[in-house]
Structure 1
């Protein structure tokens, strides 16, 4: 099974990976076998490739990358009832222990035993086929393309963040960071009821893409303008209702309370490679509520429905597509962080 394999830090190869083929030879009664079509390149994939680790997760053995995916069902287990051969699907990549305490409480995303694609030691899905549980595989409406379906996974992060923010109609939000997660969070915030969303970054092209998504999005280049000053000026000194921290940058996160109104909410999304400064005094005088998210839970069907209805359009975020045979080059380009790219995807041969 030809796969994109991270051999070690800084080294990728396209090669046969017989171990995964053997591991998925047999189909469980409630599993489906999927032929992969489109796989997105996530920032976590790039972190593993460049740094060999992401937070506490360290790659010690060769690992197949990729977890943002769509494809077609080619085989079903004996007890599968909601999917059939030929169905176009997207897949939620984290499989929890159904008997864990976290799962039974509805927080299956924080189950310590969750097996998440392309998180060591679990292999990802930049390969021809995979086996996945029916319960975490979602049929696509005809109006949703494979490329859009591969965006459901990152969109799920934004929708989970918007849900944790408890948005009220007419809220004003700030999203720190115009990367893929920042932009899907901005879209989710608008879909959730925000009247205006400010999106910050230092890359003019990313900010241009952000403003193109909706007239309700205001881009702010923080290399030239202070986001707190801008928001306070626009709100008669009151501030915004919600700040989404989606940079993963300790420097950016250090000022996350500055634009926030009294009683507002900060949602921590960006993965922090190192501890961030937390201004407890700034949080206290605002009586700020702080939420943290880890991936997502219970939102994939919502994301599919919003893309299908047109409530959220993720197509402008897909800025480059590569053939599977060009996967190594695709990751090399992604690692260089081109200013004009948001989401890069890889299409597998059909």
Structure 2
């Protein structure tokens, strides 16, 4: 492949909250260990929306203009001289977090905990709402022709679910409860299914998201507006509770419900981040039932497995793709994701031509 690489490209840059501007900038120059990727699809993540709306997440503040977007896939158009495993023309999923590679966490494989990680669209690192990005080639993963760019972009939120399943040691034939059916929760349904869960019980208040969960493989969906989720889970498990529970909504009430839905010896994975730092827990319940609690922060060493699972067609993840925008419409895409939680699942931005819309 000898695609012409322009000297200039378009980017969608956030100048301040609720203000996205389309600018023309220089195409980045790669180093010997990097590749230049033509970005073909970017999923809008909840963190993108949060930065767009509030200008910060926890200690991360947008202090200078920032390019958002980190769930991405594209095509390699140029590689540095030391790059061997990808070449121009390769279609790739882009793992957005690049660790230092030298600290104790990187050396033990837990590179998601690296204190010096550079993560796309996390201030001050620019993200993928751009026609081209320069990225370390070690964090580019070839995808088969059967996998669309949009599906490859979904490997990012999917990796969170895979990492959670790995952390808690999810065993086949068990029951999993997942509280919160945003995109991460929905992809966690697929992960739990891939890891062999026999029963997957989900809870949310949006009918569209509950329907999507059933379509992806959930056994039962509980609308929390209509039923008490813990009571329903106990009914479905013969009064015992579940072996595992994931909280993916970042909601304190959902977190309490996830904990209460567990059987003795159960395991709780905290995936979602609530607005407040301190939340009360039922400590006697945790102690008396010997509950294990796992914090989940991004993922590590999940991208190849995620690509394999998505390529296996274990679930119809394309059904999550609901809204499609060009790069020029990035602000509209962020607004759609911000204001249409009852009607949108995954919003996709196409920095280059829209060529792969389902």
TM class by shorter chain equals: over 0.9
Segments of structure 2 that go 5 or more residues without pairing to the other structure are 1-8, 354-358
- Corresponding residue for residue 12 of structure 1: 20
> 2:211: which partner in 1?
208
Q: TM-score, normalised by structure 1?
A: 0.95
1:232 to 215, 231, 234: 234
Measure the CA separation in 2 of the matches of 1:264 and 1:241.
5
Counterpart for residue 80 of structure 2: 77
Unmatched 5+ residue regions in structure 1? none
In the alignment, the residues of structure 2 paired with residue 345 and residue 279 of structure 1 have an alpha-carbon distance, to the nearest angstrom, of: 40
1:65 matched to which residue of 2? 68
Root-mean-square deviation (CA, aligned residues, Å) is: 1.2
Deviations 1:222-261 (A, max 9, x none): 1111111111112221101101000111222133211100
- Counterparts of 1:63 and 1:199 in 2: how far apart (Å)? 35
User: Is the counterpart of residue 149 in structure 1 residue 149 in structure 2?
Assistant: no
Superposed CA deviations along residues 103-134 of structure 1, whole A, max 9, x for unmatched, are: 01211111110000000011101101011111
Aligned-partner SS, 1:190: helix
Kindly report which structure 2 residues correspond to 1:59-138, keeping only aligned pairs within 5 A, or say none. 59-138=62-141
How far the C-alpha of 1:311 sits from its partner, in A, is: 2.5
Distance in 2, matches of 1:213 and 1:247, equals 18
TM-score by length of 2: 0.93
Contact 1:211 1:219 in 2 (8 A): yes
In structure 2, the residue matched to 1:158 is 161
Secondary structure at the aligned position of 2:147 is classed as coil
| Structure 2 Cα separation of the partners of residues 333 and 307 of structure 1 | 26
Distance in 1 of aligned mates of 2:274 and 2:25: 32
Give distance in 2, aligned partners of 1:219 and 1:288.
Answer: 24
Alignment partner of 1:241 is 2:243? yes
Runs of 4+ that moved beyond 3 A: none
Q: Which residue of 2 aligns with 1:280?
A: 283
Measured in 1, the distance between the counterparts of 2:288 and 2:19 equals 48
- CA–CA separation in structure 2 for the residues paired with 1:338 and 1:17: 33
* Structure 1 equivalent of residue 336 of structure 2: 333
Contact 1:14 1:328 (8 Å CA) reproduced? no
Aligned length: 344
